[in-house]
Amino acid sequence: MSLFDDIVEIYPELTSQDFEPKGSIELRNDADDRGDYIFKWDYSKPIPKGMKLGKPKA
């Protein structure tokens, strides 16, 4: 399960369009072994529990 899958499972109304450029959510992976993370969250509902904005600490 990717981070995208985890988010869409909680908010099934979201589609990949919400994650595209100019969408309300931006996920990133900086290829530094810290994995996918939420870079931007402008969606009207809160960030799901257990997730947070920003890159996880190494």
User: Which residues lie near other proteins (CB under 8 A)?
Assistant: 2-5, 16, 19-21, 26-32, 36, 39
Distance CA 36, CA 55 (A): 8
Considering the complex, what minimum distance in angstroms separates the CB of residue 16 from other proteins? 4
| Residue 22 vs 49, nearer CB to other proteins | 22
Residue 30 CB partners (closer than 8 Å, separation 6+)? 55
Hunting for tokens 């399960």 — which residue is that? Answer: 1
| Residue 26 vs 48, nearer CB to other proteins | 26
Considering the complex, what minimum distance in angstroms separates the CB of residue 44 from other proteins? 18
Contact 10, 1 (CB under 8 A): no
